[in-house]
Structure 1
Amino acid sequence: MNEYGDIYSGHSRTRKRAVPEVSAERDLVAEDAATGFCGAVVGFERTYDGEFVKLEDRHGLVRLFAMREAAFLIDGQPVTLVRPKAAAPQRPTRSASGSTRVEGLRARVARGSRIWVEGVHDAALVERVWGHDLRVEGVVVEHLEGLDNLAAWLTEFEPGPQHRVGVLVDHLVAGSKETTLTTGLGPHVLVTGHPYIDVWQAVRPQALGIAEWPRVPRGEDWKTGVCRRLGWGTPQEGWRRVYDAVDSFRDLEAPLLGAVERLIDFVTETD
């Protein structure tokens, strides 16, 4: 070789032509260059010898071919088939509550107003379905550990125009203890609720794969009675079934949906 190097290295007759890579999308028609077998892509297989593509010809015959460089022809031109890139998962455009999902929003400072619920199960289901909305609005949900604590909490909180309180109550029906405890609490407190004995019952039976919630006689612990009749084990095990069955607002009964939506509107109205 002289000082000018290999003078033939760049000549068109000696330069290796680049072979394009083609994504082997399903139903793409390609020909195996070595055998002349022509067929549509119907799948892939990974073996110790490497990646193989499955081609199906017009008679329904399926054969495997190694996905080597320049091993295939498309429209008579050599190509290298490669596996299609996995599509990026689509981010949901709707939250679990059905509202428009807000992406890239910085955390908002919590509002002065609050939503109170009776227990941890109520709080967990509200977070499950409305968690995104509550973070967007800066609303904090707290559980009272029993409705009997409501009066003391209100005395300490001192509700006002910028410190509203929304209260979600189970079994809010005429003549019930819950109705008595939540009457006449002032203009800055809104009480909403549902007619069910427990928030579990506000989960649609279809979401749990049952025909209906069983009837439990008065005087028997409702959750224990439900779990025994459905074969769910302990109430702790039953709660896991209930919680895992809820993915969105579609898994909840309308009275609970309406009650929570009204509370969110109330506590965000004037802040």
Structure 2
Amino acid sequence: MDRYGTNIFDSDPHASRRPASRQHQLSLGDVLEDAETGWVGAAIRVEKSGGVHLVDLEDRHGRIRSFPLGPGFLIDGSPVIVTPPSAPAAPAAPTRTASGSRATGPRAAQVALPSRIWVEGRHDADLIQKVWGEDLAYDGVAVDLLEGVDNLAAMLRDFSPGPGRRVGVLVDHFVAGSKETRLVNDALAKLPGRDHVLVLGHPYVDVWQAIKPERVGLTSWPEIPRHIDIKVGTLQALGLPHANQADIARGWRAILARVRTYADLEPSLIGRMEELIDFVLADRYGQD
């Protein structure tokens, strides 16, 4: 028996009461608590900066703070050493393009044909690019802006359509009795090369409405009074900022982001675009 007792440094009296940290591979959505600050939030994003993985934690009030991954976190009160999430598996190659065409893998864009597709404005072009862009690049069909159907007559005179120089035009609100229909008829009257121009359109005042309203959480697009700009009125109905052009641009990007494939568009636009594409490619593929 040692009358002086054992060496006090031989054992740690607190060791049995100190919980051991376990390894935890992070998944987005995990709720973590930073042991030092007490911040609790759901993991919404992981980024690597300067060789260190940082996780953004969003608390229940929507506030976000970043913390370096590693030790110092709690999950349900238990200490964990948080490691980065595993790299996602490479997605399977799509079998269809956004327009529904059969995907054939990476394809080099072709030199642009003399033939063109014209649309009224930037938003029309954005939507067509998102759905038909891959197909048009492969076939060498460029999409140009009219900046309004009022410019159609002058652009047709400058373009001089003819054999090998076809023009397919997509017009908004192309319905009987509309201003757009009258302008198109005037532009085509006595135009040389008229047989090499095809003008089609959809019935909507703005191409936004050619997107199925369900994609933005509506059962139908709102009826906007004629004295209110349709884009402004639509954003207002959606509860989005609409005070200036920057708000309209941001709102359009938010709407366009909801479009995935042709299935998110109204058939009245899909059919017209497919017909215009076939028309401008008729010389290349020997179609009528």
TM, length-normalised to structure 1: 0.67
Aligned to 2:56: none
Instruction: Give the share of equivalent positions with the same residue, in percent.
Output: 53
For residues 156 and 175 of structure 1, the distance between their equivalents in structure 2, rounded to whole angstroms, comes to 27
Aligned to 1:204: 212
Alignment of 1:106 with 2:118, yes or no, is: no
**1:8-157 pair list within 5 angstroms:** 47=23, 87-157=89-159
2:176 to 174, 179, 187: 174
After superposing the two structures, state which structure 1 stretch, 191-200 or 240-249, moved more: 240-249
Deviation, 1:139, is 0.2
Task: Give me the CA root mean square deviation.
Answer: 1.8
Deviation, 1:238, is 2.1
For residues 142 and 92 of structure 1, the distance between their equivalents in structure 2, rounded to whole angstroms, comes to 28
CA deviations on 1:7-65 (whole Å, 9 max, x unpaired) are: xxxxxxxxxxxxxxxxxxxxxxxxxxxxxxxxxxxxxxx828xxxxxxxxxxxxxxxxx
SS in 2 for 1:182: helix
SS in 1 for 2:275: helix
**Can you give the 5+ residue segments of structure 2 that lack an aligned partner in the other structure?**
1-21, 25-85, 243-247
SS in 2 for 1:129: helix
**Can you give the 5+ residue segments of structure 1 that lack an aligned partner in the other structure?**
1-45, 49-83
- Do the aligned residues in 2 keep the contact of 1:102 with 1:136 (CA within 8 Å)? no
1:259 to 272, 275, 285: 272
Deviation, 1:230, is 2.1
Deviation, 1:221, is 1.1
Distance 1:153 1:89, change over 3 A: same
- Do the aligned residues in 1 keep the contact of 2:167 with 2:196 (CA within 8 Å)? yes
For residues 144 and 197 of structure 2, the distance between their equivalents in structure 1, rounded to whole angstroms, comes to 15
Which amino acid is the alignment partner of residue 47 of structure 1?
Answer: Q
Aligned to 1:4: none
- Do the aligned residues in 2 keep the contact of 1:101 with 1:132 (CA within 8 Å)? no
For residues 87 and 222 of structure 2, the distance between their equivalents in structure 1, rounded to whole angstroms, comes to 49
- Do the aligned residues in 2 keep the contact of 1:208 with 1:241 (CA within 8 Å)? no
Aligned to 1:236: 249
Aligned to 1:7: none
- Which protein has the larger Cα radius of gyration, Structure 1 or Structure 2? 1
Deviation, 1:240, is 1.8
1:220 to 213, 221, 228: 228
After superposing the two structures, state which structure 1 stretch, 102-111 or 198-207, moved more: 102-111
For residues 228 and 236 of structure 1, the distance between their equivalents in structure 2, rounded to whole angstroms, comes to 14
Distance 1:151 1:90, change over 3 A: same
SS in 2 for 1:192: strand
- Do the aligned residues in 1 keep the contact of 2:262 with 2:270 (CA within 8 Å)? yes
Task: Report which of the two has the higher share of helix.
Answer: 2
Distance 1:86 1:237, change over 3 A: closer
Distance 1:232 1:109, change over 3 A: same
CA deviations on 1:210-257 (whole Å, 9 max, x unpaired) are: 121111112221111111222111222321221111111011001010
After superposing the two structures, state which structure 1 stretch, 129-138 or 179-188, moved more: 179-188
Distance 1:229 1:160, change over 3 A: same
Which amino acid is the alignment partner of residue 101 of structure 2?
Answer: S
Distance 1:226 1:107, change over 3 A: closer
For residues 153 and 252 of structure 1, the distance between their equivalents in structure 2, rounded to whole angstroms, comes to 28
For residues 91 and 266 of structure 1, the distance between their equivalents in structure 2, rounded to whole angstroms, comes to 30
Aligned to 1:190: 198
Aligned to 1:77: none
For residues 86 and 221 of structure 1, the distance between their equivalents in structure 2, rounded to whole angstroms, comes to 44
Deviation, 1:102, is 2.6
Deviation, 1:114, is 0.1
